[in-house]
Chain A
Amino acid sequence: MTLDQAKSNQRVEICQIDGGWCLRQRLNQIGLYVGAHVIIKQSSAFGGPLVIVYNNSQIAIGRGMAAHIQIKIDETKETQHFSNDH
Chain B
Amino acid sequence: MKQKRHSISRTIIDDHHPHPEIVLIGQPNCGKSTIFNSVAGYRSISTNFPGATVAYTRSHVAIYGRKCNLVDLPGIYSLTALDRAAEESKKYILDERIDVIINVVDASLLSRSLELTLQLLEINVPMILCLNMMDEAARKGVDIHIDQLAQELKIPVIPTVGSKGQGIDDLFTAAFETIHQSHQKASLSLSRHVEKKINHLEQMLKKKPRRCNHVSDRLIAIKLLEQDPFFAHICDDDMSLAREVSVLQAELSEEHGETPDAVIAAERHNLAMYLFEKVARVSHPKRKWTDHLDDALMHPVLGFVIMLFVLYLFFNLIFKFGSTIETPLMILLMRFVETATMSLGQQSLPYTLLYSALTGIAGGIAIVLPYLLPFLIGLALIEDIGYLPRIAFLMDSFMHKIGLHGTAVIPGILGYGCSVPAVMATRILASPRDRFIASVVAIIIPCSARMVVIMGLVGYYFGGNAALGIYILNIVVVSILGSILSKLMPEDIPGMILEMPSYHRPKAQVVLAKTWLRLKDFIIVAWPLLILGSLILGLAEWQHLDGTINLITRPITYVLDLPPQVGTTLIFGILRKELSMLMLYQALGTENVAAVMTSTQILVFTLFVVFYVPCLATLGIMGRELGWKRTSLATAVTLLLAIVIALLGRIVGAVIF
Contact = CB atoms under 8 A, between A and B. Distances in A.
Contact of A58 (B78, B494, B496, B499): B499
Given A59-B500, A60-B497, A46 B397 contact: yes
A18 B112 CA distance: 22
B495 A63 contact: yes
Interface in A20-49: 21-31, 33-35, 42, 44-49
A84 B285 contact: yes
A65 interface: yes
Given A34-B262, A61-B496, A26 B392 contact: no
B553 interface: no
A62 B392 contact: no
A5 interface: no
Contacts of B142: 56
Interface in B381-402: 389, 392-394, 396-397, 400
A23 B266 contact: no
Contacts of A55: 109, 111-112
Given A26-B82, A48-B396, A62 B495 contact: yes
Contact of A27 (B112, B140, B396, B497): B497
B495 A64 contact: yes
A29 B262 contact: no
A24 B227 CA distance: 12
Contacts of A31: 111-112, 115, 269
Contacts of B269: 28, 31, 33
B496 A49 contact: yes
A59 to B, nearest CB: 5
B77 interface: yes
A64 B494 contact: yes
Interface residues of B, number: 47
B141 A84 contact: yes
Given A24-B261, A84-B141, A33 B266 contact: yes
A68 to B, nearest CB: 9
A34 B495 CA distance: 19
A57 interface: yes
A57 B77 contact: no
Contact of A25 (B109, B261, B394): B261
B108 interface: yes
Contacts of B540: none
B497 A22 contact: no
28 contacts: A22-B494, A24-B265, A28-B262, A29-B115, A30-B77, A31-B115, A33-B265, A34-B266, A35-B266, A46-B300, A48-B397, A49-B496, A51-B294, A51-B500, A57-B109, A57-B499, A59-B497, A60-B406, A60-B500, A61-B496, A62-B396, A62-B495, A62-B496, A65-B497, A66-B495, A82-B285, A82-B287, A84-B141
A77 interface: no
A24 B109 contact: no
Interface residues of A, number: 38
Given A34-B262, A48-B396, A48-B397, A61 B495 contact: yes
Contacts of A84: 140-141, 282, 285
B298 A51 contact: yes
B82 A62 contact: no
Contacts of B57: none
A59 B498 contact: yes
A29 B78 contact: yes
B80 interface: yes
Contacts of B80: 25, 29
A53 B261 CA distance: 24
A4 B396 CA distance: 14
A75 B269 CA distance: 24
Interface of B: 77-78, 80, 82, 108-109, 111-112, 115, 140-142, 227, 258-259, 261-262, 265-266, 269, 273, 277, 282, 285, 287, 291, 294, 298, 300, 389, 392-394, 396-397, 400, 405-406, 430, 493-500
A60 B495 contact: no
B397 to A, nearest CB: 5
A49 B406 contact: yes
Given A29-B77, A31-B112, A45-B300, A60 B265 contact: no
A25 B497 contact: no
A65 B285 CA distance: 30
Chain A CB within 10 A, most for which of B227, B273, B494, B499: B494
Nearest to B112: A31
A33 B493 CA distance: 21
B36 to A, nearest CB: 23
A25 B495 contact: no
B262 A22 contact: no
Closest 6 CB pairs of A and B: A62-B495, A65-B495, A29-B77, A62-B496, A64-B495, A44-B300
B82 A59 contact: no
Contacts of B111: 31, 55, 86
A56 B140 contact: yes
A23 to B, nearest CB: 7
A51 B393 contact: yes
Given A45-B300, A47-B397, A86 B277 contact: yes
B300 A48 contact: yes
Nearest to B78: A29
Contacts of B273: 86
Nearest to B283: A84
Nearest to B493: A64
Contacts of A24: 259, 261-262, 265
B464 to A, nearest CB: 31
Given A29-B78, A47-B397, A86-B282, 12 more contacts: A23-B494, A26-B494, A27-B497, A28-B262, A48-B394, A55-B111, A56-B142, A60-B393, A63-B495, A64-B405, A64-B495, A82-B287
A63 to B, nearest CB: 7
Contacts of B394: 48
B227 A34 contact: no
Nearest to B502: A58
A50 B490 CA distance: 24
A71 to B, nearest CB: 16
Interface in A62-83: 62-66, 82
B521 to A, nearest CB: 31
Chain B CB within 10 A, most for which of A31, A35, A56: A56
A85 to B, nearest CB: 10
Contacts of A66: 495
B500 A58 contact: yes
Contacts of A25: 78, 80, 82, 261, 265
B266 A62 contact: no
A65 B496 contact: yes
